[in-house]
Structure 1
Amino acid sequence: MGQSKRLLFVALVPPENIQNQVTEIKEYFATKYNSSRALRSVPHITLQPPFKWPTENLAVLQECLQTCAQKCSAFPITLSGFSAFPPRVIYINVVKTPELLKIQKDLIGFTETTLGIVHPPSKIRPFSPHVTVAFRDLTKTNFRAAWLEFRERSLHFEFMASQLTLLIHNGKRWDICNEFPFRGFQKY
């Protein structure tokens, strides 16, 4: 009998009040620009891109993420304005801080050495932290119109990143599978 594998990824998820406001922006893109795929997950900053993992070994993965999270301290995140990966993706820009760059690099290194999870594009592409609001289902025409509307729009949120979040794909959307608090934080 073969092992069943699920798609998972590891992210930083903002607090609920910011999630709600970002989700409103995603809903606007779905309504006005017919781009709804970004609504398939909670607003997040991807640290470890999607990978396949055997569901039977989920506990091993979660133990490793718990260990990794306990090596981290909470740090501030700033979301500032909009940016894009033309011709399809519009996102909220995440300010690249040394702490954010370090946690992403440490997590990628840790999951590779501990679990054998490798994401080849991450080895050649620099980390570009972002919160997607319009995804690859945005047509090129709608991208141009939406980018004209959003490129100068201001947006500013700050929050403390205090945990890693593991998301799992259920076949239709991404669900939060588990959360791993950083050192000094309790899970409620």
Structure 2
Amino acid sequence: MKLGIVIFPSKKVQDFANSYRKRYDPNYSLIPPHITLKPAFTVPDEGMEQLTIKLNEISNSNKPFQIQSTKFSSFKPVNNVIYLKIDSCDELSELQKKLNETIDIDNPEYAFVPHISVGQKLSDDEHSDVYGTLRMNQFNLEDTVDRFHLLYQLENGSWTVYETFRLGRE
């Protein structure tokens, strides 16, 4: 089964991100705005129970925390992705690190950069245009993270929640 682990932000943050995603992100209809904690990986069906036990342990040992975003950024020249930059936060980095150490499957291709993608697969010219405009925007989005989600991919390429893990239940 193809899986991923993400944080879905509040409706306010999702609405803000979607106001851009519907124009600039071809994955808009496949998954809501999210922060990827563990990119797509594969686990056989018989490994799901053990995986959820490990994820429960991680969620129980981490407390809810605050995140903030105040600007757009880009991964150019690596790829033409525009995103809401999530400010550095020890709790978020620690959660992501624990997940990757515990689920040592398919090591991530890139270093962890907390973000919510709002534009992808843009041509060079379109990327320059859109990013040039978006980075002038001023905003301050704050949110409380109190859960993460294990997702699985459906045959049509969309993602849906397999299980939700609430932080700090110990």
Cα distance in 1 for residues equivalent to 2:138 and 2:26:
22
Q: Which residue pairs with 1:9 in the alignment?
A: 4
Q: Does 1:88 align with 2:88?
A: no
Partner SS, residue 99 of structure 1 = helix
| Structure 1, unaligned runs of 5 or more | 1-5, 30-34
Cα distance in 2 for residues equivalent to 1:39 and 1:85:
22
| Structure 2, unaligned runs of 5 or more | none
Among 126, 145, 150, the residue aligned to 2:129? 145
CA RMSD of aligned residues (A): 1.8
Alpha carbons of structure 1 residues 17 and 169: separation in structure 2 relative to 1, 3 Å: same
Q: Which residue pairs with 2:22 in the alignment?
A: 27
Q: Which residue pairs with 1:133 in the alignment?
A: 118
Among 43, 46, 68, the residue aligned to 2:58? 68
Alpha carbons of structure 1 residues 28 and 156: separation in structure 2 relative to 1, 3 Å: farther
1:57 shift after superposition: 2.8
Q: Which residue pairs with 1:119 in the alignment?
A: 107
Aligned residues: 167
Q: Is the 8 A contact 1:14 1:161 kept in 2?
A: yes
Cα distance in 1 for residues equivalent to 2:145 and 2:30:
22
Partner SS, residue 101 of structure 2 = helix
Among 156, 162, 183, the residue aligned to 2:140? 156
Cα distance in 2 for residues equivalent to 1:157 and 1:120:
27
Q: Is the 8 A contact 1:38 1:134 kept in 2?
A: no
Q: Which residue pairs with 1:3 in the alignment?
A: none
Partner SS, residue 168 of structure 1 = strand
Question: Which structure has greater helix proportion?
Answer: 1
TM-score normalised by the chain length of structure 1? 0.81
Moved more, 53-62 or 7-16: 53-62
TM-score normalised by the chain length of structure 2? 0.89
Alpha carbons of structure 1 residues 126 and 36: separation in structure 2 relative to 1, 3 Å: closer
Q: Which residue pairs with 2:91 in the alignment?
A: 99
Partner SS, residue 67 of structure 1 = helix
1:38 shift after superposition: 4.2
